[in-house]
Structures are given as C-alpha cells and as structure tokens.
Amino acid sequence: MAEERLDKILSGQNIATRTESKKLALKGMLAVNGKITKRSDIKVDPEKDEILVKGVKLIYKKHLYIMMNKPSGVLSASKDKNTETVIDLLPKELRREGMFPAGRLDKDTTGFVLLTDDGELAHKMLSPKKHVYKLYLAGCDKILNNDDVMTFAKGITSGEDVFMPAEMKIISDNFALVEICEGKFHQIKRMFHAIGADITSLKRLRIGSVFLDDSLGEGEFRELTSDEIIGITDSSFKGINSDTLPPAFLSI
C-alpha cells in the first residue's frame, strides 16, 4: 500500500482526529517502527510500518466488514434524524466514515445485514448480475402450497418489475425459505402479494455462502472472518437445504 500521512491513517481508522493526532505526537505518544515521532504528518505505510499509539500497536484494517443481526424497528441506513439506524448500533470505534449497510432490509425485517466501508465488495454482493443469493425465512398469513412454489419458480411480474425465478421451500403452513439474488424494493413482500399473501415476519439468514451467526442476538454484531469476506460474494452457493440450517433459524 502507498504511504499516507500518519494523521490521515489514524483518523481513517477512527483512532484520533487530525488535531488529536498532532497533540499525541507532541506529547511523544506516537511511534513508528520503534521511534517516537513528534510530527503527525509524516508519511508511513500502515500495512508495513509498525505504528504505536500510546504504546498500543495499531491493527490497521483497510476496510471493516461487520455482520449484524438487525432488529425490527431499526433503519437500514447510515443516518436518520428520527429513527435509530444500524450504524447507530455500532460502538464509536467501528462507526468509521463511509460505513453503510450493504443491501437494505426493511425497517420491520430482521437478520443478516452487512455493514462495511468497502463499496467495491458491496457492489459485487448486490448486483443482480453477480448472482449472489440471499436466503430469507418468511412468515405469511396464507397456507402455502405447491402452486406457490411453482409461481415463484416461474418468476413473477409485479407492476413494472419482473422478479427472476426464485426457489421457495415450504417449512410449515405459513413459513417458507426463499432464495433470491436481486434486491428490488420490498421484493419478498411483493412476491408474496403476487400469491395472495401478506408477510407477517421476514428474516435474512444467509448472504452468498455466509450464514447469519446464530449466536448473535438481535442488535448484536461481529466482524466477518477472512473466509467469510470471500464467501459473502460467493455466487456458486445456491440451493435451499433446510437440513443444513442451524436449527435455531427454523424454531418458528
């Protein structure tokens, strides 16, 4: 990675503002490769050089990738004047500039939302052309049947939108797993309207090959592992196999 100003790196990592970095340097609290630096504007390579802030080694992360189990009632947005957002649920050190939810869930939808500052990865994950499948568990007010499965499999036209063929697997009378690779406005809700049903609950369980960590309670989050960062854009992972789902997901 190219060299960058130390104060810019520290502000980008949400460690200190540029003014704070200047003060830290003057107090002798910044060191690079074992040497105290009294200037915060020196150029360093955060991937190669060892940076200490108040004696603590900086773990540089170019981007953050956070899996959150979104609660109902929270907005999938970066900021909102009136309503709490998924970004508001993060602690300050993870609320870096440029963090956003990659792929919105409706306010009343729960489950897996990816929060990141990596626009390139988000595009790969979201573009319907990339065919990254997302799995949802949907509850509805209709007793589902095989005709509904067939309707989803054929593809659905809703107003001006055409939804690609989608796999549905009925789990019980009113619950089904549905897998789609698009993210059109209220897509699952509109697909269910097309079969005469209203959604009563909706939860995203998987993106690409990465399942929501079932140990995360609503509103909880954790960073993705390096394998999961790859898996989240994995377009080869497709198919609903409820046997491989963590049982907790199907306790409805």
Coil/strand/helix, residue 22 = helix
| Interface pattern 95-124 for ligand URA (x via CB under 6 A) | ----------xx--x---------------
* Closer residue to ligand URA in complex, CB, 14/174: 174
CB 142 within 8 A of CB 197: yes
Residue type, 96: R
CB 181 within 8 A of CB 204: no
Helix (H) or strand (E) holding 189: helix 187-194
Residue 62 C-beta: closest distance to ligand URA, Å: 29
* Closer residue to ligand URA in complex, CB, 11/110: 110
Q: Specify whether 88 is catalytic.
A: no
# of chain residues touching ligand URA (CB under 6 A): 8
Query: Cβ contacts of residue 140 below 8 Å, gap of 6+?
Result: 174, 175, 176, 192, 197, 198, 199, 200
Residue 204 C-beta: closest distance to ligand URA, Å: 7
Residue 231 C-beta: closest distance to ligand URA, Å: 20
How many other C-beta atoms are found inside a 10 Å radius of the C-beta of residue 40?
Answer: 23
Q: Which of these is catalytic: 45, 49, 88, 106? A: 106
* Closer residue to ligand URA in complex, CB, 14/85: 85
Structure tokens at 208: 């690409």
Q: In angstroms, rounded to a whole number, what is the distance separating the alpha carbons of residues 169 and 242?
A: 8
Enumerate residues 174-193 that contact ligand URA by CB under 6 A: 186-189
Residue 109 C-beta: closest distance to ligand URA, Å: 3
Coil/strand/helix, residue 152 = helix
Q: Does 202 interact with ligand URA (rule: CB under 6 A)?
A: yes
Residue type, 197: A
Q: Does 24 interact with ligand URA (rule: CB under 6 A)?
A: no
Residues lying near ligand URA in the complex (CB under 6 A): 105-106, 109, 186-189, 202
**Active site residue ranges:** 106
